[in-house]
Every structure is written in C-alpha cells, then in structure tokens.
C-alpha cells in the first residue's frame, strides 16, 4: 500500500519502547529474507536463536503476525519490517512464501465467517425478560441520581470554595454510589469534578459548569418520558446505559469516504482504550470509534490516522458522534485533510453538535490551512481571516507543530469542546504526524 511513512508506522507502536526497538531493526542487514506485494509484507529476522523469526503484515488493515514470543502487537519485528517497507527497502516479490499464504488464507476464512455471522438473522430474544431487566436498572439509576442531586445541593448550599481542600476522597464516595446504581457515566463526571477542583487557579468556572451539567442530566432523566427519542438516547448514553454492538449495526448506515484524522490510545485501569476519530468527506460528519483491549492484546479492526477508508458507519442512537464500523475497504493514504477552512466554521459546527447533545465532550474535527503561532507562554492557531483561537499544547507538541509549519499554513486535526482547542495531529506536504502521547494513564472522563 502506498502512503506509508516512518511517522505513520510509528503510530502503530504500542509504546515508546517498542517504537525505539522497531527503529533498531529497520535495517536490511537485520533481515535474512524480505519481500512484498500489493497485499502483504513479510520477512525473516535473525534473533538470538538459530531459527529466524517469521514476520508478516497484511496491508489491508494492517494486521501483524510474528513467530517471536513477544505479546505486544505489533512487536518490534513487525514495526521494523514496516519501517523498511516505508523506506522502500523491501524488494517486490512475485510469489509469497507458503507460511505467508497460509496465514492470509486463514484470515480470509475468518473474515468470511464473520461476514456470514453478521448477515445471519438475529437470534430470538426474550423481549419481556429484557424489558424487565432494563426497567429494574432504570429504577436503580433513578435512586442513585436522586441521592446525587442531594449531594450537589448540599455542596452548593455550603459553598464550593472548600472543594479543593476536600481532596479526591470527597468525590470518590458519590462516584462509587453511582457505580452501584449502574450509572457509570455519572460516576466519571463526579470524578472529573475532583480533578477540576485540584487543577489550580481558575478552577471555579469549569467546576460550576460541570455541576450544572450534572444537574441538567438529573433533571433530564426525571423527565425522559416527555423528551424526543434521540434526546432520551443521549441521556441514557451519557449515564452509561449500554446498547449492544449488534443493535447499533442493525441501524441504517452512513456510507462515505471516511478520513481517519486522529487516534489516541489511553490506559484506563487494565484496559487500553483507542479513540479513533473519522470525518466523512461527503456527509461532513465526525465519528468516534472506540476500541478496547486488555493488556497488550491487539485492537480489532485497526485504523491508522492519515489514511481514509470507503465504508459504512452506523451511529449510536441519539445526537452523539459515537459510531461503529459496519463495512470498510482498504486504507488509502490522504495527501491533505478535507475539513473546515475557517475557525468560525469550526465553532459553528461544535455549537450545533452541543445544542443537540449538551453533554457532548471533546469532538475532533479537521482544520485546513491554519498557521500555528507562539503567543506569550502559550500557543494559538490562526486562519486565513486572521481569526485566532488559543491552543492547548505541550511544548514538545507545540514546537513540532511549528516546525512542520515553518510559518506556512498546515492542516490540523483538533479536539474542541467549545472552550478548549487541543490539536492532536498535523499534516503538511503529505506527511502526517501525531501530536499526542499514546498510552497515557487516565482516570474517568466524560463520554463523547
């Protein structure tokens, strides 16, 4: 597949150590054999044992397999091989080795079975039992939210000024009660209050805003029967009430060419969570695709930022942006981002989304031809109308963005929640570079 660069390959690394080790293997002298065609890349890397490790990559996803004992996906051998391929140091081959052909055939067989399973008629469901279980859960959620409302009113009545001195334990107790009430979304928002209260100067405004958002959520839940169905679904999703993937994929899909504009992997307890943002070229809709993996296990149906796919996405019920991939084609490298040309257009898009779904968190959208600038001790983005928005960037990411720009306009994928602009990736001259650190540990956060 065309379009692979060093930076795009390094996005696939599960951690910085793997990226560094993969770069150490990106030399032809480390490989006994190697080859590539339009479908796959393969090679044999000599390790410490007598038999070289057999490494192979299916370029359509991409997917990796290696005979080494590493439990990381991709392992350093897979990364090293792909770095060689991106550097045009793997010779084209007319015939694959048998071990590569067998692996690709097995993958194709699994894909056919998965497709047949997806197209099979759904199994009968005991709707009465399902409804009874849901009703019982909704009652528990209602009880939990009633106690949360009392906690919020007591906090406001006594004054929020003491919140920073109370520590995280003050917020942990009501958060645990929400978990017991099976309202995990509310639990995460309570924990975020503790983080805001401990954030230093200027904490009061975002703290009160988050309290107001929780109060609105409680009142909306109490009146859910009087609200439109999409809004009801937004309330349930914000509270963390589940909907099965099969039910989502049964909804009408949106077919488009989807740009993969950003990917951020975080560590949440024992889970690795991948947040991949896509943007439809024709529909102009953002989509958040979540994937979860335990430990170092690979994510299913991986996507790589800086590429696009032709495919169908099914949005979760409601007015949110979360979606699931129903069908997808091969990835194609994109030379630039197709998105918003003006910061005003970005603000309008976020305003519309948040008017429909007031509990929506950060949404990542593509910005075209903006100029990054150092302003005092911070950073900002400037569009062609000389409109400016401050940007939240680490110094490392900020200088990387500035170096990629060189004072000229660049395309940026930026997360925006209506008040905070957080650039996550930059694209210039066909080169895509992530600006976020992958694999950072986080506590709870509001769902998008």
Nearest residue to 257 via CA among 273, 278, 242, 274 = 278
Q: How far apart are CA 269 and CA 264, in angstroms?
A: 16
What pairing do the DSSP bridges indicate for beta strands 40-45 and 363-375? unpaired
* Res 77: pLDDT: 96
Nearest residue to 34 via CA among 109, 105, 87, 70 = 87
* Res 442: pLDDT: 41
User: Mind spelling out the 3-state secondary structure of 138-192?
Assistant: HHHHHHHHHHHHHHHHHHHHHCHHHHHHHCCHHHHHHHHHHHHCCCHHHHHHHHH
* Res 2: pLDDT: 65
Q: How far apart are CA 77 and CA 56, in angstroms?
A: 9
Going from the N-terminus, what domains does the chain have, and what CATH number goes with each?
Answer: 6-114 (no CATH), 129-239 (no CATH), 245-333 (2.40.50), 343-436 (2.40.50)
Q: How far apart are CA 441 and CA 434, in angstroms?
A: 18
- Compute the residue count for the chain: 448
Q: Token match 């859960």: residue?
A: 137
Contact 290, 274 (CB under 8 A): yes
Number of Cβ within a 10 Å radius of residue 224: 16
The two three-digit tokens of residue 398, written as one number:
């900020």
Q: How far apart are CA 193 and CA 171, in angstroms?
A: 7
Q: How far apart are CA 18 and CA 437, in angstroms?
A: 14
* Eight-state DSSP code of residue 304: -
Q: Is the peptide bond before 378 cis (omega within 30 degrees of 0)?
A: no
* Res 122: pLDDT: 64
The two three-digit tokens of residue 98, written as one number:
């048998």
Number of Cβ within a 10 Å radius of residue 268: 13
Report, as ranges of residue numbers, the positions in the chain whose pLDDT lies below 50.
1, 441-448
The two three-digit tokens of residue 183, written as one number:
């309202």
* Res 239: pLDDT: 95
b/e code 124-146 from CB counts within 10 Å (16+ = b): eeeeeeeeeeeeeebeebeebbe
Q: How far apart are CA 271 and CA 208, in angstroms?
A: 30
Residue 410 C-beta-side C-alpha neighbours within 13 Å: 27
Q: How far apart are CA 93 and CA 412, in angstroms?
A: 37
Phi, psi of 392 (to 5 degrees): -90, 110
Paired with 275 in beta bridges are 264, 290
Number of Cβ within a 10 Å radius of residue 237: 22
**pTM score, whole prediction:** 0.85
Residue 447 C-beta-side C-alpha neighbours within 13 Å: 22
* Res 126: pLDDT: 66
Q: Token match 């990917």: residue?
A: 263
What pairing do the DSSP bridges indicate for beta strands 63-66 and 254-268? unpaired
Phi, psi of 317 (to 5 degrees): -60, 145
Q: How far apart are CA 349 and CA 363, in angstroms?
A: 10
What pairing do the DSSP bridges indicate for beta strands 271-280 and 254-268? antiparallel
């Amino acid at each position: 597949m065309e379009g692979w660069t060093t930076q795009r390959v390094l996005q696939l690394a599960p951690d910085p150590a793997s990226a560094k080790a993969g770069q150490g293997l990106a030399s032809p002298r480390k490989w006994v054999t190697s080859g590539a065609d339009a479908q796959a890349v393969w090679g044999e890397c000599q390790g410490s044992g007598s038999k070289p490790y057999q490494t192979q990559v299916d370029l359509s996803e991409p997917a990796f397999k290696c005979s080494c004992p590493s439990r990381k996906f991709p392992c350093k051998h897979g990364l090293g091989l792909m770095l060689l391929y991106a550097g045009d140091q793997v010779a084209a081959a007319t015939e694959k080795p048998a071990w590569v052909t067998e692996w690709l055939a097995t993958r194709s067989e699994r894909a056919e079975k998965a497709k047949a399973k997806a197209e099979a008629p759904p199994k009968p469901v005991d709707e009465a039992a399902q409804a009874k279980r849901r009703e019982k859960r909704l009652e528990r959620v209602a009880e939990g939210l009633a106690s949360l409302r009392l906690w919020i009113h007591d906090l406001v009545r006594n004054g929020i000024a003491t919140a920073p001195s109370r520590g995280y334990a003050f917020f942990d107790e009501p958060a645990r009660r929400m978990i017991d009430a099976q309202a995990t979304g509310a639990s995460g928002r309570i924990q975020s209050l503790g983080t805001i209260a401990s954030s230093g100067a200027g904490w009061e405004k975002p703290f009160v805003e988050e309290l107001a958002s929780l109060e609105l959520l409680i009142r909306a839940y109490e009146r859910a029967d009087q609200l439109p169905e999409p809004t009801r679904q937004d309330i349930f999703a914000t509270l963390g009430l589940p909907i099965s993937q099969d039910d989502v994929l049964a909804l009408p899909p949106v077919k488009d060419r989807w740009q993969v504009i950003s990917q951020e992997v975080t560590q949440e307890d024992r889970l690795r969570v991948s947040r991949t943002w896509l943007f439809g070229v024709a529909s102009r809709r953002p989509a958040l695709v979540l994937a979860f993996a335990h430990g170092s296990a690979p994510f299913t149906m991986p996507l790589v930022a800086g590429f696009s796919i032709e495919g169908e996405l099914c949005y979760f019920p409601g007015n949110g942006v979360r979606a699931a991939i129903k069908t997808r084609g091969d990835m194609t490298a994109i030379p630039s981002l197709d998105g918003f040309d003006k910061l005003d257009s970005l603000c309008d898009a976020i305003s519309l989304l948040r008017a429909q779904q007031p509990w929506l968190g950060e949404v990542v959208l593509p910005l075209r031809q903006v100029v990054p600038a150092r302003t005092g001790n911070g950073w900002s983005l400037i569009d062609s109308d000389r409109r400016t928005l401050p940007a939240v960037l680490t110094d490392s990411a900020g200088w990387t963005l500035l170096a990629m720009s060189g004072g000229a306009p660049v395309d940026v994928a930026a997360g925006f929640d209506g008040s905070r602009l957080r650039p996550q990736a930059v694209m210039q001259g066909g080169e895509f570079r992530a600006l976020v650190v992958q694999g950072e540990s986080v506590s709870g956060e509001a769902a998008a």
